[in-house]
Chain A
Amino acid sequence: MAERTILAARDLDFYYGEVQALRHISINIPAARVTAFIGPSGCGKSTFLRTINRMNDLIPAARAAGSLTFRGQEIYAPDVDVTDLRRRVGMVFQKPNPFPMSVYDNVAYGPRTHGIRDRRRLDLIVEESLRAAAIWDEVKDRLKKSAMSLSGGQQQRLCIARALAVEPEVLLMDEATSALDTISAARIEDLTLELRERFTIVMVTHNMQQAARISDKTAFFLAGELIEFGNTERIFSMPRDKRTEDYITGRFG
């Protein structure tokens, strides 16, 4: 199957005030694939992930230079509607962050935000999203209960369902399993594999086994630079860059 680029960066620089967090990132992220960003702490992989849906806008004095496009359109162009961008590029966070509302209201939050009020349609979206996130069976009898009463793993799948409910085209996962126990993490990994057919998934992970298991493409970041990017199998079997090899063989990081 031919790869179609959905997200492309060209010489992207990113700054937090005086500090340069990303240097000359150039990458083509393919549609309908799982792309994993790996690298040691502070290497810029999370920063890059958060430039894609402009979550970094929340940090004062953060700014981007260079080009970053989503389906050919500049993400940082001044006339971009950030809320529309974020609807189309969903995000799942490191720590499960359900709102302090019912399970139902959590999932319905996004659709309601974008103007869907019809109860029957909302019911349908909620069910579909919860099914897609493989949590429907566990919560279908307690949709009105507070989302805070779920376990950590359930909360994270609920957050995935919440992200899916606005029908994003890309799903960003920022170390989405690192705060979970291994069993919950495995369920999220399985889910990621299932979702790959319908969404483009970009994930940041500390866990190299995870990257190797579920991603099609892997990008290795170090000190704000993209060192190497390619098919996951190739990166893990014969890395071209010495630093990539050192990292995946566990010599640092």
Chain B
Amino acid sequence: MARNARPALRRQLYSAAVRLLVWLSASVCCCLLAVLIGYICWRGLPGLSWELLTSEESLLQGTAGLLPSLLNTLCVVAVSLAAALPLGVGAAIYLTEYARSRRLTAAVEFASEVLSGIPSILYALVGVIVFCSALGLQKTLLAGSLTLAIMTLPTILRTTQESLRTVPRSYREGALSLGSGRWRMIATVVLPSCVDGIVTGCILAAGRVVGESAVLMYTAGLSTAMQDFSTIQGIMRASGSTLAVALYVYAKERADFAAAFAAATVLLALSALINLAARLAGRRLGRRQRRKKHPAALTRRQGGPHG
């Protein structure tokens, strides 16, 4: 027995060490988040006020104001979603409901994978060449938003596709058997049952847009002054920094850390909110996916496959 004792001890030590590493790593992650949030709030909250959020920067009084950046962020999220949503949802519908060619589907899915892997700095370059110069949009929120639309397209495409796949085949068959055309079937039966997936996609895309800075720095401009959103022309020509870009400008170019951390706190709150929203919307989707994988006993066929 004594001979076996040592390996057993070694194995116990090994197991204990692995367990320690596992728990340690998990606590490192939690601490990281806690420290990040804690530190940002500690430095950011004191500077955060209603006034800061609802006013623009005043050089005369030497006060910062985040309102222009907030509005710019909102504008960029809205415009880029407006562009990416129809494209992404449309592509997903085509792939799941119409496409017969496996190769086309595989090609589109690969393209979407490639798009989601391209770093933002490259989107920035492409945005600069295509939207700012070639299409003559200059450095505007519009050019930035359109660039981001390409960047967020894969997110919307993927979540919509996943969600479309959970719509039961029987809904489609029911609609078709009543003489419904394919598009009518999609519009009336399929799409309404996967709204949650599309919403999840939009929320995730909005999250990326809110956090994005590299693309917008070079395509949308750095100004922190108020833009004119009252007219269409104003919106078309508006050029300025979103919250994330403003953070960079304050921290790196002006060394105004109070404003930077205030912006960081707002950004953090926004991304936490978006995270929560995506989680809530995604939960319903997840439930349906599970149900599809494990159909309830009632729906199981009694006599095996159809005759």
What residues make up the interface of A, taking CB atoms closer than 8 Å to B? 37, 39-47, 53, 55, 58, 60, 83-88, 90-91, 93-95, 97-101, 109-110, 113-114, 152, 159, 162-163, 166, 174-175, 178-179, 204, 206, 221
Chain B hits for A46, CB < 8 A: 306-307
Contact A113 B299 (CB under 8 A): no
Contact A163 B178 (CB under 8 A): yes
Smallest CB separation, A77 vs chain B (Å): 17
Smallest CB separation, A61 vs chain B (Å): 9
4 A-B pairs besides A87-B178, A88-B179, A114-B179 with CB distance below 8 A are A99-B175, A110-B179, A152-B298, A204-B306
Decide yes or no whether B86 CB sits under 8 A from chain A. Answer: no
Query: Given the complex of chains A and B, what is the CA–CA distance between A41 and B175 in angstroms?
Result: 26
Contact B178 A110 (CB under 8 A): yes
Contact B177 A55 (CB under 8 A): yes
Chain A hits for B301, CB < 8 A: 94, 178-179
Query: Given the complex of chains A and B, what is the CA–CA distance between A221 and B178 in angstroms?
Result: 27
Q: Which of B170, B171, B179, B304 contacts A113 (CB 8 A)?
A: B179
Contact B171 A97 (CB under 8 A): yes
Contact B303 A41 (CB under 8 A): yes
The 8 listed contacts between A and B (C-beta, < 8 Å) are: A42-B306, A58-B176, A86-B176, A86-B177, A86-B179, A91-B177, A113-B180, A178-B301
Contact A41 B304 (CB under 8 A): yes
Decide yes or no whether B3 CB sits under 8 A from chain A. Answer: no
**When each residue 282-299 of chain B gets 1 if its CB lies under 8 Å from chain A and 0 otherwise, what string results?**
000000000000000011
Decide yes or no whether B184 CB sits under 8 A from chain A. Answer: yes
Query: Given the complex of chains A and B, what is the CA–CA distance between A205 and B143 in angstroms?
Result: 62
Decide yes or no whether B136 CB sits under 8 A from chain A. Answer: no
**When each residue 177-212 of chain B gets 1 if its CB lies under 8 Å from chain A and 0 otherwise, what string results?**
111110010001100110000000000000000000
Residue pairs across A and B with CB atoms within 8 Å: the count is 105
Contact B180 A206 (CB under 8 A): no
Q: A86-B178, A86-B179 are in contact. Are A113 and B184 (CB under 8 A)?
A: yes
Contact B307 A43 (CB under 8 A): yes
Contact B178 A162 (CB under 8 A): yes
Contact A204 B176 (CB under 8 A): no
Q: A97-B170, A99-B189, A178-B302 are in contact. Are A53 and B307 (CB under 8 A)?
A: no
Contact B177 A90 (CB under 8 A): yes
Q: A97-B170, A100-B192, A179-B298 are in contact. Are A109 and B178 (CB under 8 A)?
A: yes
Contact B179 A166 (CB under 8 A): yes
Smallest CB separation, A51 vs chain B (Å): 13
Chain B hits for A88, CB < 8 A: 179
Smallest CB separation, A230 vs chain B (Å): 19
